[in-house]
Amino acid sequence: MSTLLQQLLNGLSLGSIYALIALGYTMVYGILKLINFAHGEVFMMGAYAGYFAALALGVQHAGSAGFPLYLAVLVLVVSMAAAALLGVTIEFLAYRPVRSAPRLTPLITAIGVSLFLQNAAMLAFTPNPRPYPPILREVRFELAGVIVTNVKLTIFVVAMALMVGLTWFIQKTWTGKAMRAVATNIDAARLMGIDTDRVIRATFAVGSALAAAGGILFGLDQIMINPLMGVLTGLKAFVAAVLGGIGNVRGAVLGGLLIGLAEQLTAGYLSPDYRDAITFVILIIILILRPQGLLGVVRPEKV
């Protein structure tokens, strides 16, 4: 029983990270109907930003007291800002010029950007996997036969906090409402005087920042980062967004958690060889049975 609980806990913490990344996918798709293939690389860059920020702030000299909390928060904020900048730059350079092109073109452009970032990272950071700096010193305790660490709890808490923050942002702030308007009907929003370019920029910025947070948490939990870490993780997070209903924020969270759980349970009880495959199987099943996702709404297509 404790094994099952352990697997569930691990699944939820992994799933929270997927959820954070999935939010970026779902928001961008909701607004631009574009699958931002490069989002996985933004996640990776965010993790590396945190790595370098932590090193710059002297994490290796932290000693037994651990890295002070305010510096850890600073690392998080700096990385999120850097990722936001990266996301906005990508949008400006690569997606905006092709915004009005047939859907195929931006998709391939996104794939190109993804490839570019992966290989640029390999060049800049060397392909060697790096251990993540101990921004949080790990504390373990046991609860009902299940090992829980402060890192896992932090992941869950931070992820939830960011998601609540995002929901508040979308519901209550002006920019958030503008985002929802643009997602509903971009032309009408423009006619209503909304600066769609600004809204799109904001969407990319917020989504990328969340992905960076996911990257740092991932590094803390999984210990290692490498330039190709965004490829598979990004893909799985995208599946999570689709599972929950692409364009739907709550759906992205639900999807992320479900994919995390499915992956962990498959690895634990079926075979670790299929942990990646299960995500794609879920993708296929959901797209065939319920393409709008679990929480999505069917949008009638106007001819």
Q: Which of residues 11-70 bind another protein (CB under 8 A)?
A: 14, 33-35
Closest distance between another protein and the C-beta of residue 156, in Å?
Answer: 15
Q: Scan residues 133-192 and list those touching another protein (CB under 8 A).
A: 138, 140, 142, 147, 149
Three-state SS letters, 93-128: HHHHHHCCCCCHHHHHHHHHHHHHHHHHHHHHHCCC
**What tokens appear for 38 in the block?**
């490069």
**What tokens appear for 180 in the block?**
């929802």
* Between 81 and 287, CB nearer to another protein: 287
* Between 165 and 291, CB nearer to another protein: 291
Closest distance between another protein and the C-beta of residue 204, in Å?
Answer: 17
Interface mask (CB under 8 A) for another protein, residues 92-111, using x and -?
--x--xx--x-xxxxxxx-x
Closest distance between another protein and the C-beta of residue 224, in Å?
Answer: 5
Q: How far is CA 111 from CA 99, 175, 209, in A?
A: 15, 28, 20
User: Which of 113, 199, 211, 217: binder of another protein (CB under 8 A)?
Assistant: 113
**What tokens appear for 128 in the block?**
């060697």
Closest distance between another protein and the C-beta of residue 210, in Å?
Answer: 20
**What tokens appear for 294 in the block?**
């679990």
Question: Per residue in 32-45, is it b (16+ CB within 10 Å) or e — as a string?
Answer: bebbbbbbbbbbbb
Task: Work out whether 116 is an interface residue with another protein (CB under 8 A).
Answer: yes
Task: Work out whether 120 is an interface residue with another protein (CB under 8 A).
Answer: yes
User: Which of 123, 143, 160, 188: binder of another protein (CB under 8 A)?
Assistant: 123
Q: Which residues pair with 130 in a beta bridge?
A: 225
- How big is the site for another protein, counted in residues (CB under 8 A)? 72
Which of 155-163, 179-187, 207-215, 286-294 is the region at the interface with another protein (rule: CB under 8 A)? 286-294
Alpha-carbon distance 86 to 89, whole Å? Answer: 5
Q: Scan residues 194-253 and list those touching another protein (CB under 8 A).
A: 218, 221-224, 226, 228-229, 232, 235, 238-239, 242
**What tokens appear for 268 in the block?**
């634990």
Closest distance between another protein and the C-beta of residue 17, in Å?
Answer: 10
- Contacts (Cβ under 8 Å, ≥6 apart) of 32: 95, 99, 106, 200
Alpha-carbon distance 122 to 119, whole Å? Answer: 5
Q: How far is CA 77 from CA 27, 83, 103, 209, in A?
A: 21, 10, 34, 9
Closest distance between another protein and the C-beta of residue 271, in Å?
Answer: 7
Closest distance between another protein and the C-beta of residue 23, in Å?
Answer: 18
* Between 31 and 113, CB nearer to another protein: 113
Half-sphere exposure of 240 (CA within 13 A, CB side): 35
Is residue 300 exposed (0-12), middle (13-18) or buried (19+ Cβ within 10 Å)? exposed
User: Which of 71, 74, 77, 122: binder of another protein (CB under 8 A)?
Assistant: 122
User: Which of 127, 192, 198, 290: binder of another protein (CB under 8 A)?
Assistant: 127
Alpha-carbon distance 161 to 156, whole Å? Answer: 8
Dihedral pair phi/psi, residue 224, rounded to 5°? -110, 145
* Between 126 and 171, CB nearer to another protein: 126
